[in-house]
């Protein structure tokens, strides 16, 4: 059976892969949205080690950790 003849399978596959890629880069998105100081490290760890579940969790933990307080200047 032709994949294009089944109608929704191409759209479903594209949706699946788009969601999978977005889920893979959640630590990078969180790090950049929170402006953490080590977002470059989070990006590198996620890109190279994110395929292992441990690397992905480490990158997410680095992205979610508390940021140091900015000194108040007057």
pTM above 0.95, yes or no: no
Q: How far apart (Å, rounded) are the C-alpha atoms in residues 40 and 25? A: 13
Check pLDDT > 90 for residue 74: no
Residue 66, number of CB atoms within 10 A of its CB: 7
- Whether residue 46 contacts residue 34, with contact meaning beta carbons closer than 8 Å, is answered with no
- Whether residue 45 contacts residue 62, with contact meaning beta carbons closer than 8 Å, is answered with yes
Provide the pLDDT for residue 10.
86
For 8-39, the pLDDT digits (tens) are: 688 888 999 999 999 999 999 999 999 998 99
Q: How far apart (Å, rounded) are the C-alpha atoms in residues 44 and 8? A: 35
User: Which candidate, 19, 21, 25, 31, places its Cα nearest to that of 61?
Assistant: 31
């Amino acid at each position: 059976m032709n994949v294009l003849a089944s109608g929704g399978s191409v759209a479903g596959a594209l949706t699946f892969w788009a969601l999978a890629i977005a889920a893979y880069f959640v630590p990078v998105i969180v790090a950049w949205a929170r402006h953490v100081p080590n977002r470059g490290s989070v990006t590198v760890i996620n890109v190279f080690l994110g395929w292992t579940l441990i690397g992905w969790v480490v990158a997410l933990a680095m992205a979610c950790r508390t940021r140091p307080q900015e000194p108040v200047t007057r």
